[in-house]
Copies of this chain bind each other. A is one copy, B any other.
Amino acid sequence: MVAYDVFVADCPARTTLDLVADTWSMVAVVALAAGPARYSQLHERIGGISKKMLTQTLRKLEANGLVERRALRAAPPGSEYRLTPLGRTLLEPVRTLSRWAEEHTDELLAARDRSAAAADG
Contact = CB atoms under 8 A, between A and B. Distances in A.
Interface in A6-29: 6-10, 12-23, 25-27
B100 A6 contact: no
A120 interface: no
Given A4-B30, A14-B27, A17-B101, 20 more contacts: A2-B34, A4-B33, A6-B26, A6-B31, A6-B98, A7-B46, A7-B47, A10-B47, A13-B101, A13-B102, A15-B101, A16-B100, A17-B27, A20-B21, A22-B23, A63-B115, A64-B108, A64-B111, A86-B107, A89-B104
Interface of A: 2-4, 6-10, 12-23, 25-27, 30-31, 33-34, 45-48, 62-66, 86, 89-90, 92-94, 96-102, 104-105, 107-108, 110-112, 114-115
